[in-house]
Amino acid sequence: MSSFTSCFYRRRKFQPISTTTNMKKYDVYLSFCDEDPDFFVLGIYKGLTSGSGINVFWDNKRIKRGDQEVPTSVLNVIGDCKLVVIVFSTNYFNSRWCLQELEKITECCRTTDSRLMLLTFSFFYNGVHLVLGYPDTDFFEREAFHDFLDRIYKKEISQQGDKFMSWVAAISHNKAITYAGSTYLGHVFTNRIEREHIENVVELATRVITEKRDMFNVFYTESLNSRVQDVTQLLKQSKSPLILGIWGMPGIGKSTIAKAIYGQVGSYFRHKCLIENVKRSVQNKTYTLVSLQEKIILDMAREPENDISTIVSGKVILKERLHSKRVLLVLDDVDNLEQLHALCGSREWFGEGSKIIITTTNRQLLKEHGADHIYRVKELDENESLELFNWKAFSQATSQEGFAELSRQVVAYSGGLPLALTDLGIHFNSETVDIWECKLHNFTRHFYNGVQGTLESSFNDLNDEEKQVFFDIAYFYIGIDQHDVVQSLNSSTHCTNLLISLLEDKSFVTIDENNKIQMHVLLQATAEAIITRESSNKTDQPKMYDVFLSFRGEDSRAKFMSHLHSSLQNAGIDTFRDDDEIQRGDQISISLLKTIGQSRISIVVLSKNYANSRWCMLELEKIMKIGRDRGLVVVPVFYEVDPSDVRHQKGQFGKGFDDLTSKISVHESTKTRWQRDLYEICGIAGFVLIDSRNESADIKNIVEHVTRLLDRTQLFVAEHPVGVESRVEAVTKLLNIQKAEDVLLLGIWGMGGTGKTTIAKSIYNKVGRKFEGRSFLLGIREFWETHTNQVSLQQQVLCDVYKTTALKIRDIESGKNILKEKLSKNRVLFVLDDVDELDQLKALCGNREWFGPGSRIIITTRDMDLLRSCGVDQVYTIEEMDESESLELFSWHAFKQPSPTEDYATHSADVIAYSGKLPLALEVLGSYLSNCEITEWQKVLEKLKCIPHDQVQKKLKVSFDGLKDFTEKQIFLDISCFFIGMDKKDVTAILNGCGFFADIGIKVLVERALLTVDNRNKLRMHDLLRDMGRQIIYEESPSDPEKRSRLWRCDEVQDILSRDKGTEAVKGLALEFPRKDCLETKAFKKMNKLRLLRLAGVKLEGDFKYLSGDLRWLYWHGFPETYTPAEFQQGSLVAIELKYSKLNKIWNTSQMLENLKNLNLSHSLDLAETPNFSYLPNLEKLVLKDCPSLSTVSHSIGSLHKLLMLNLTDCTGLQTLPRSIYKLKSLETLILSGCSKIDKLEEDLEQMESLITLIADKTGITKVPFSIVRLKSIGYISLSGFEGFSRDVFPSLIRSWMSPSNNVISLVQTSVSMSSLGTSKDLQKLRIICAKCDSELQLTRDIARFLEVLKATNCQNLEASASSTASEISDMHASPVSDCIGHFRNLGSKNHLKSLLIQMGTKCQISNVAEDSVLQTADGTWDLFLLGCDNKSDWLTFSCKGCSIIFDVPTMKGSYLKSMMLYIVYYSCLENITSEGFQEHNLKSRTW
């Protein structure tokens, strides 16, 4: 299908056509001029009628009769069709027949039931062109067409209205369909091209007919289409020049409606003009009013006008040129009368039938200009909003799976505003569910700024009085009766009624049918954002007041409030008290709200009638909001009222609240907010003064409390605290502040630059006021290093907590005693930042006995061992930032906005990848790049990869410098250059061979957050830490690489080796796939201290004696020789890795390598023999994977008394194993998978007393030695692959495992004896059995027998019955599990059966059981989990009291059960767990 058709369907939306009545007789009617495209139309006809089953009307009489009348019978057929295909061609409008058809088509379009609406497709053939989707003047400006229009116009004109406009509306309603589906077929040069066009038309028409779909352009959503039709109906109502205004708030879709109308009906006006964004064009001086006048004349008359010199002369010329013409003029976004007077003067300017459409946010302009109709654009309803949003977010009319509820939340947030829906749709497009949830959460806290600029632009056009009233309404009067609002505001604002009316005209407020004032939710948010921004700007300035007093004057003013206010003032506390409350009644000013934001503390005196005052409740709402958002300290005072009455609005306090909410008709949302605030303030520690006998003492306590609070300085957290909040919440939970009786120590641990201090500061600010005293010691490590007066830190703690300098400390030891004595009496919050030595903790926080009950001590450090040493209760490991957090933080510093500009998006992603999401790096690099041009970014990134940024480097290097041991630093540098991603155990062996005590050193690096070990035991390091380590090496000799201790950069290494520049300074070298793959061994001559050598794709020529005798690690990928040269000194090597080598044998002459622990020759395809292992006495790991030429293993392998692992995977040429291999008592892992010629294991296997893991999948083994069950340490066995094993060996293995003293062979051949299956002691060692079976027969026999053994083995503790047949298993529709696995009962033994997991399914897949899937309880409750591994059932959890469980097996109709997993968990006593540990047995058997 050609691009036209596919594009068409991408752009359209389809809906079903109702066919309940008036079934159409014909499917398609073809309208065409037979003088032009005869072959083309005939091709369409044949294509539609042949094979598609489409009924097409065709009249042979019309051929060559262009000037004849169309018979009525033919015209009537048009109304009987579902679809009309119109082929506009050069002579179409010269044909009388065609014009009559078109008139009938338009009549049908206008009069047909909308549910059965006639569809039209228009195609423009051979010379009829399209411009921007609409036919241009080459067609619609032709005289023939306009003569046709004139006839229609004269025919339709009447006194009742503009019938011509009705005709235009009818045809143009379909025109939205027509032109969206139209195509320009152009000049047809070849039959092939014409055939392609015919196929397109046929396919398009066929799809529409068969699918019975109504087609609309996606831009014409249902909501837009509805509004366009509403406006079009208004345009019909007069034949005189008609002025119509489209009015509504910014972003409501006024311009979209106007443009849609212009697009639909514009082609039917010979003279038309659309001027977009009049307001912005004039304000930005893109156009003047004179130039806009010239544009109108140019568009209308098709010729430039050079005589307009002033606006006045332009008016004259416009009137002169247009007064006799029928015109369509659209003026978009007009904002003052001058613009209207200049561009559309009055009706007299235009001829009969003219239409002038004006869009504006100001209804008053339209009234003053004398608009005939004013159409108010309302918000979209929920369904309309969802449709528009979905198109933008998902490019379809419905939400994608998993996003429906989130989409509804976005729609609710947008309030039905099309601009917001469009912008949010684009904003959320292609994002994941997690990102949606995160952004929506942010929107609830911070106004989305995507539409704020548009709304604020209109706000800025208001005068100061209008702005003030707008703020007042937005904050306090939404949902309030207009009369009450006017009465309330009149006391402070003149002409309130007029101002509200002006705001309504300017689309800022609406008055509903109940005379209540309403405001769009995003306008409310805009008002709040503006106030918040202005308040925030002032928070950077000194606070105006220390305390803001909120109180109900009639309750407490006379005595208590006066006394409290004077006491605060006398204490030097600057206190704000609003003395205007009595005069102002219920009105509260914006300036008063700003005062709250400019205060440090608010004392709220809650009295009996407090909640009966709108003033007080509005104050409280603002106080609590600022408290939540910006940390205003709130101190409640319950004056002669019970806190419970306040919390739940009971008693006299509750009556006052109810009276207020009913008296002023408070909106339900406002009432809910007030109730929440009253509830929350009761949860804040304060003062309860009921029947107090000593009011002076009470006031003194309040003043002292406030004095302490004012001394607690808030710490600066971060300029852009991205991601801080979620981490603070996580740490706060660990602090468990509600538990007041204990002292808790918490560590915050992570590498440098991850934000430990930032999080600690934020926690300090957030929870600090809940403690009696608090102190934050910042940067202890640096202070300890640079200051000798360490006593001053102890002094600072006392000063912070007790606000006094009277206590003097002489020395560290006396300071410890003073701190312990003082701090133990109070509940304190103590933060020690960046601690790196235990002595620091001993001097400053001793132990938990130093602190009073409920105290919390937070320690930030890079050293996990330090936290263990001081016995912290909890450790919070800093979470890595995710992608969106990283991008936002970087963007704030680089672009001063939460996301990158479009041009920088790719480069920003590169920076984030480089930074490894490290907050420090993101901030530093963002600031560094903020002033760089885009061309510089790539260069900067390339530089950073070679030379890290000094600020980041300095911060990270602190951890490296803190390593006290030389060997620890060497280990870090070696790993950063060579060992990232390698197995920890292998690296440890290599570095131990270098004398570095790596077991301890790697542990230290992990604890200092310089290194991590993943779940596969691989070493990992943050990219910036890696770069920091390499930069340290680079700085050893910046100009001379050969003088550095480690070399890893390919170009530098190749240069050094090519030019024989090596020195003894080089300890490690890596070179992978160089440009020159052949180098001289002599280049290594001077590198006599070389310990580590990593090569890949390298060939060395020359004498190997030049390689260092100190080598501990040789890694050579693709070793090119057939054996290692004899002169190569290998005596010091700890690890040899020669993977993908050309080796035939590793040594021609054996060498004694006493230090070698790891030998890996994997993927050496030509390796034919193994070495004499007696020369490798200390070998621990031997890996010979994928060595297909290897046929035997040297019998000397039995001499490897320290071998721990042997891996012979895919050694397909290996036929047998030497008997001596079974003497390997130290061997823990044996892997034989893929050794297809090995057909048995010997009974001697039981001699491998240390064997834990045996994997022999896909081998030739058909017999397993039953001695395997006597292995003392075995934990994992996998023997998958060949038929026979599953039926014969598998059952015996299970039984033997559980009862190793039995004659296992007889158990296969005879029935199971209940008395011969051993004791429960054997079963107690079993923890997990995981069985995989393929065949129904195997399942029914093996599993049922196993369960019988299970029952018999533990007969003293379990009562069971097992019976299962093939028919029962294969037809599991309603069979209870008791029929299959029996009935278990707990009789109270030490090892009771606590949980049972059974897995059944048809795909032979047994899932890993997560540790937390089986929850054990101490009361003997049984838990059972059932999982269908074929994804046909969910996890089902069953729980009951007592001694048994019965449950139904899920229905599996149409499927055969092929696998079952039993998961049995025992509750063991502590002695058993300690002595036996955890044993897991996993047996796999598959029949292929």
CA gap 1256, 1262 in Å, rounded: 11
CA gap 583, 1264 in Å, rounded: 99
Q: Which amino acid is it at 436?
A: W
Q: DSSP labels for 1115-1167?
A: EEET--SSSB-TTS--TT-SEEE-TT---S-SBSS----TT--EEE-TT-TT-
Q: The tokens of 1400 are what? A: 């059944």
Q: Which residues contact 718 (CB under 8 A, 6 or more apart)?
A: 724, 758
* Residues listed for the chain: 1488
- The three-class DSSP label of residue 106 is helix
Catalytic choice (619, 621, 885, 1348): 619
DSSP-derived letter for residue 880 is P
Neighbouring CB atoms inside 10 A of 1314's CB total 12
Neighbouring CB atoms inside 10 A of 1270's CB total 17
Helix H or strand E encompassing 599? strand 599-606
Nearest to 908 by CA among 878, 879, 932: 932
Q: DSSP labels for 647-680?
A: HHT-HHHHHHHHHHHHHTT--HHHHHHHHHHHHH
Greatest CA span in the chain, whole angstroms? 120
- The three-class DSSP label of residue 621 is helix
CA gap 1307, 1323 in Å, rounded: 17
Neighbouring CB atoms inside 10 A of 975's CB total 26
Helix H segments across 754-790?
Answer: 756-767, 780-786
How far CA 737 is from CA of 1, 711, 763, 822, in Å, comes to: 68, 22, 12, 21
CA gap 83, 77 in Å, rounded: 11
Q: The tokens of 1130 are what? A: 């290998």
CA gap 867, 857 in Å, rounded: 12
- The three-class DSSP label of residue 861 is strand
Cα angle: 986, vertex 992, 994; to 5 degrees: 115
Helix H or strand E encompassing 1307? helix 1304-1309
Nearest to 605 by CA among 569, 578, 572, 570: 578
Neighbouring CB atoms inside 10 A of 497's CB total 14
Nearest to 97 by CA among 75, 69, 117: 69
Handedness of CA 1117, 1120, 1126, 1129 (dihedral sign): negative
DSSP-derived letter for residue 222 is H
- The three-class DSSP label of residue 705 is helix
Active site residue 1180: no
- The three-class DSSP label of residue 540 is coil
How far CA 381 is from CA of 408, 411, 548, 1104, 1321, in Å, comes to: 12, 9, 43, 82, 71
Give yes or no for a contact between 826 and 801, defined as CB atoms under 8 angstroms apart. Answer: yes
Nearest to 89 by CA among 32, 45, 134, 46: 32
Provide the β-strand partners of residue 217.
12
CA gap 551, 656 in Å, rounded: 15
Q: Catalytic site residues?
A: 619
